[in-house]
């Protein structure tokens, strides 16, 4: 019996294994049983079982910690100002997880993808000038549905992000990216439709008692068709269509 106990200890403690011994070398009648007839374990065997469970628990805990730390790092790159927009990231870009990039202003300025698609439907088959392209939300959808797109922004970083995001969507070759002031470039531009979505000031608009178009300083226009834009039942903005685009339905 002493030899058998020694054998079990060698098998269980170093490798934390409770596999029964080979029945050919250790006949079944040598197995220890309790008074109830069920196999019993020595103190060393119980220690081995507890150690095995403890190591598995610690391993699971380490995996969970790594995952939670990953999430914390992902949240850490988003400032408190744009946290709520980060939670809506898939509404902004359905391919966000494929490498889409935004700067802080881009988070609260980009047009939600569903609305950008609606805008592009109105312009299908045309050459569109995106006058304030930002990080490319509208330009990408125009490129998918329209003939060609010219994307303009005065901020070089915005144009770099727009180009990168257009590559993620596979349409960068259908867009001409231009760094410049649209109002200075306008006389030399040629296209069918000019799309204007100027910077709107961000979340601070809530501090303004009366928000009107004078804050955006748009150019004059007449006979617009006004469209309210919603995503998942939430009001997101207003689009004004001018000229023949106003009569086209998405």
pLDDT per residue over 4-45, tens digit each? 444 334 444 444 444 444 545 444 444 444 555 555 556 666
Q: What is the number of other CB atoms lying within 10 angstroms of the CB of residue 115?
A: 20
Sign of the Cα pseudo-torsion (214, 215, 217, 222, in order): negative
CA-CA distance, 205 to 202, in Å (whole number)? 6
Q: Which residue has the tokens 């608009």?
A: 205
133 band by pLDDT with thresholds 50, 70 and 90:
very high
Helix, strand, coil percentages, rounded to 5, for the chain? 50, 15, 35
Which of the given ranges, 9-23, 54-68, 166-180, has the highest pLDDT on average? Answer: 166-180
Q: Which residue has the higher pLDDT, 207 or 193?
A: 193
User: Can you count the helices (H) and strands (E) in the chain?
Assistant: 9, 6
């Amino acid at each position: 019996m002493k030899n058998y106990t020694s054998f079990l200890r060698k098998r269980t403690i170093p490798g934390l294994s409770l596999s029964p011994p080979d029945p050919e070398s250790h006949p079944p009648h040598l197995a220890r049983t309790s008074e109830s007839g069920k196999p019993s374990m020595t103190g060393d065997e119980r220690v081995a079982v507890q150690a095995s469970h403890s190591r598995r628990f610690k391993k699971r805990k380490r995996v969970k910690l790594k995952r939670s730390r990953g999430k914390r790092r992902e949240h850490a790159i988003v400032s408190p100002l744009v946290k709520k927009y980060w939670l809506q990231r898939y509404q902004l870009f359905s391919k966000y997880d494929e490498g889409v990039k935004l700067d802080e202003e881009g988070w609260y300025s980009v047009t939600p993808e569903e609305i950008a698609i609606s805008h592009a439907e109105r312009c299908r088959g045309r050459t569109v000038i995106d006058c304030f392209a930002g990080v490319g939300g509208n330009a990408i959808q125009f490129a998918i549905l329209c003939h060609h797109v010219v994307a303009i922004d005065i901020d070089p970083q915005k144009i770099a992000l727009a180009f990168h995001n257009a590559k993620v969507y596979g349409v960068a070759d259908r867009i001409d990216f231009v760094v410049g002031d649209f109002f200075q470039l306008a006389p030399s531009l040629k296209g069918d439709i000019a799309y204007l979505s100027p910077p709107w000031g961000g979340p601070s608009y809530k501090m303004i008692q009366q928000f009107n178009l004078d804050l955006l300083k748009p150019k004059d226009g007449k006979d617009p068709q006004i469209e309210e834009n919603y995503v998942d039942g939430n009001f997101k903005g207003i689009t004004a269509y001018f000229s023949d685009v106003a009569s086209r339905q998405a």
